[in-house]
A and B are shown apart, each in its own frame.
Chain A
Amino acid sequence: MRDRQLAPGIVAGRIDAAALQGNFTDLHPPLDDHEALVAADRCYFCHDAPCITACPTSIDIPLFIRQIATGTPEAAAKTILSQNILGGMCARVCPTETLCEEACVREAAEGQPVLIGRLQRYATDRLMDKGVHPFRRAAPTGRRVAVVGAGPAGLACAHRLAMKGHDVTLYDGRAKPGGLNEFGIAAYKSTDSFAAREVDWLMQIGGITLATGQRLGREIVLDQLRQDHDAVFLGIGLGGVNALGLAGEDREGMRDAVDFISELRQADDLSRLPVGRDVVVIGGGMTAVDAAVQAKLLGALNVTLVYRRGRDRMNASRYEQDLAASKGVRIVTNATPIAVHGNGAVREVEFEYSDDDLRPTGERFRLAADQVFKAIGQTLEGADLPALDGRKIAVSDRGRTSLPGVWAGGDCAAGGDDLTVTAVAEGRDAAEDIHATLMAEG
């Protein structure tokens, strides 16, 4: 086994199948009944609770925890899902340490927040395992809405619209719905095909027609969608990636982190997925951490994550950084890539240390690399979109764009963090505004 791990280059099967399986199980295993009761018991049922305010979808957290404590996790799930239809995924992927759990008063009191995320998973799993969909579609309104992008924003928007009785066509350029839930989120956060199962469960509301392989700007165009529908919602995420702008960026072994992650998420057999022995990840966000950790879990021997600014400026939370460190990822900060060396394939990446304002120090170093993942940010892609605000679609607080009848939300829209839960909130709120608008039109 050892020699496989030491083998240079990008090869598959660096560690055995059992070890792989262990590496990619749930990062946080589900709570059992006893654990859930003990965890729920710690909630103080705060008044106007700070955790609710900290949740972008404003889930009534004290209420759902009380419902768990009193033995009705199904009622708890309904409390969660009525605010956040992807409450199951959010329970797995939300950086709770910077959202609800950071705000928990027990974090202030004891440095130990109530395990809100894991309790949320406990409740939603219970309901979904029963195959119950707790919402019913209102009588059809006859209104037709096009939702473009079947990621968290589009799914949340489509569900809320369908629930209100509108007919929704949910377009996505890919062959599978789910967006980054399906293609982006770290594998150990969404195990057991959860993303796909959640979409199937969500679609039980009825009234949503899924049209995959339909890409805006390719099979479908915005003008036509606007003509054919009463409203359009854009939840197309960020399809492009930023380039480093270095010579040698196209050398073999250089890759966008999101592509690597997407391939990993879709792989049936991780022991056939190749990974480098010496992996370098460039970036400081969630994508960089996820690529680094998963490369390590796949069996890469040395994984180094290099970020150009200081640790406190990294987009990945402290918790994510510690997670990476605990898996054996080395984090180097204040270093900017300046050259990719190698003959055909990458052999080394050269960096220069810089200060927090990115001023070069003149101190340089090289890292051995047979695989390099670029994770320096994603960008909005597409022509003929509504007006932009910076590099994203400009929206009002209800998701209205510059084009009448066109709303947008999620990563593609300006404002808010690029998080699953934020995308859900924006999709849901846009749906409410679309509904209000369509009904006001009479």
Chain B
Amino acid sequence: MADLTTNFIGITSPNPFWLASAPPTDKEYNVRRAFEAGWGGVVWKTLGEAGPPVVNVNGPRYGAIYGADRRLLGLNNIELITDRPLEVNLKEMRRVKRDWPDRALIASLMVPVNEDAWREILQRVEDTGCDGVELNFGCPHGMSERGMGSAVGQVPEYVGQVAYWCKKHSNLPVIVKLTPNITDIRKPAQAAKEGGADAVSLINTINSITSVDLDLFAPEPTIDGQGAHGGYCGPAVKPIALNMVAEIARDPATAGLPISGIGGVTTWRDAAEFMALGAGNVQVCTAAMTYGFKIVQEMISGLSQYMDDKGFTSVDQLVGRAVPNVVNWKDLNLNYVTKAKINQDDCINCGRCYAACEDTSHQAIAMSEDRVFTVKDDECVACNLCVNVCPIEGCITMERMAAGMVDPRTGEVVREEYANWTTHPNNPGRCAAE
């Protein structure tokens, strides 16, 4: 079994699987059970200022999107930060950290944008013995209406400013948690780095309305006939999160800035993908809320098996490995020619590939009288749609045409050498080929 020990900005944990700041980490009882189940660390549910805590709605706070077989794919919430008194949370954090010294315990914080407020809360959390702080600039509902959460995260200057205050008033490692509700994720990441933050974590939840009650004419979750937009998370947001992580990892201005990857991590594979794109560890919320703490066991066994198979002896060897392969469109090799191929032994003759290609793509699949489906190489543009809609994994594959063969669609010989758009004859702004 590969060693999964992770060192993230100086914080070690037995594995890279942390629970994200959310209900699973809202109290001592949960966190102790999470550690017993094997989680490497937790980011405690976001703490606010001292004084009367925030209040949550008393009606439903979650909405969901399902896939086939009622598999939960996306979750939306209108919950606020912790609604328990600061003092209680701090006491519990201290106790838990004392009993679980080998696990990471991070305090998530959200207070108004003023230096005193941050200085004050930092001093109080330092006393707990926690390993670091995460600044919650991400919550997109409720708190943002009060000038906090994503209202901060959407203004890079504020992000940098608060990160700066935190480094100034505390020795703890500082992670800035970013909101995805922004056009260019690189800007707040750059600001965090410039402010002195040790790392960024992303993504927090995405503004969303999961569904509308068509009798009440109100968004769900519905509270007394009305609803508010909430934060979307779970498997459905993973692609958005992966891209944002990759954008930061490959931006020269932030390259090398440690990233904690969040958003839809459900299996070891999701985690490995985030890590390959540059995340030093991952945080999980919805998967734990859907299946319970025990899922971490699959993440641990799966990642170690994968690392053993790859010959990796430490998670560092995985982190960032895919980053160099994330490029811009213009850099993609236009001489890479593939054709879809249907494996007739695996095909169950459902015809979904045919419907997709015939109705919406390039009319490149033929259907015989007896329902045999075959690809017409002279029409196939290799869009991949048939692969995506086929219910049998691996039945339709994309096969590369070897150099020297003639692409029956274009009538052109497939070229060996790499060539991209920047040198393509159709590109009016092309650079001269060498």
Instruction: Check B305 against A75 for contact (C-beta < 8 Å).
Output: yes
Query: Residue of B at shortest CB range from A69?
Result: B267
Chain B residues with Cβ below 8 Å from A191 are none
Q: Is the CB of A79 within 8 A of B301?
A: yes
Contact between B291 and A70, CB atoms less than 8 A apart: no
Task: Point out which of A34, A41, A66, A74 has the most chain B C-beta atoms below 10 A from its C-beta.
Answer: A66
Q: Let me know if A374 is at the binding interface, CB within 8 A.
A: no
Nearest chain B CB to A104's CB is how many angstroms away? 14
B295 contacts the other chain (Cβ, under 8 Å)? yes
Given contacts A34-B392, A47-B292, A72-B268, contact A67 B69 (CB under 8 A): no
Q: Is the interface of B mostly helix, strand, loop or mixed?
A: helix
B295 A78 Cβ-Cβ under 8 A: no
Shortest A124–chain B CB gap in Å is: 15
A42 to B70, CA, bound (A): 10
The reply to whether A42 and B302 contact each other, CB–CB distance below 8 Å, is no
Residues of A within 8 A of B184 (CB): none
B393 neighbours in A (Cβ, 8 Å): 33-34, 37
Q: Does A201 sit within 8 A of B, measured CB to CB?
A: no
- Choose among A45, A62, A75 the residue that contacts B301 (Cβ–Cβ < 8 A): A75
Residues of A with C-beta under 8 A to B5:
none
Tell me if B298 is interfacial: C-beta within 8 Å of chain A: yes
Query: With a CB–CB cut-off of 8 A, which chain A residues contact B269?
Result: 70-71
In the complex, A339 has a CB within 8 A of chain B: no
- Interface flag for A63 (CB, 8 Å): yes
A72 touches B301 (CB 8 A): yes
**Cα distance A71–B292 when bound, in Å?**
20
Q: Are B302 and A72 neighbours in the complex by a CB distance under 8 Å?
A: yes
Size category of the A interface is: 10 to 19
The reply to whether the CB of B297 lies closer than 8 angstroms to some CB of chain A is: yes
A residues 329-380 touching B (CB-CB < 8 Å) = none
Q: How far is the CB of A246 from chain B (nearest CB, A)?
A: 56
Asked if A67 contacts B392 (CB within 8 A), the reply is no
Residue among A41, A45, A62, A70 making CB contact with B302, cutoff 8 Å: A70
Residues of B within 8 A of A63 (CB): 294, 297-298
CB within 8 Å of A: which of B265-298?
Answer: 267-269, 291-292, 294-295, 297-298
Of A33, A37, A41, the contact of B69 (CB 8 Å cutoff): A41
Among the listed A42, A47, A70, A74, which residue makes an inter-chain contact with B298, where contact means beta carbons less than 8 Å apart? A70
A430 to chain B, nearest CB (A): 27
Bound state CA distance, A78 and B295, in angstroms? 16
Q: A37-B393, A72-B268 are in contact. Are A66 and B295 (CB under 8 A)?
A: yes
CA gap between A12 and B170 in the complex, in Å: 88
Residues of chain A having any CB pair with chain B under 8 Å = 33-34, 37, 41-42, 45, 47, 62-63, 66-67, 69-72, 74-75, 78-79
**Known pairs A45-B295, A47-B292, A70-B269. 17 more at Cβ < 8 A?**
A33-B394, A34-B394, A37-B393, A41-B69, A45-B291, A45-B292, A66-B267, A66-B295, A66-B298, A67-B298, A67-B301, A69-B267, A70-B267, A70-B298, A71-B302, A72-B305, A79-B301
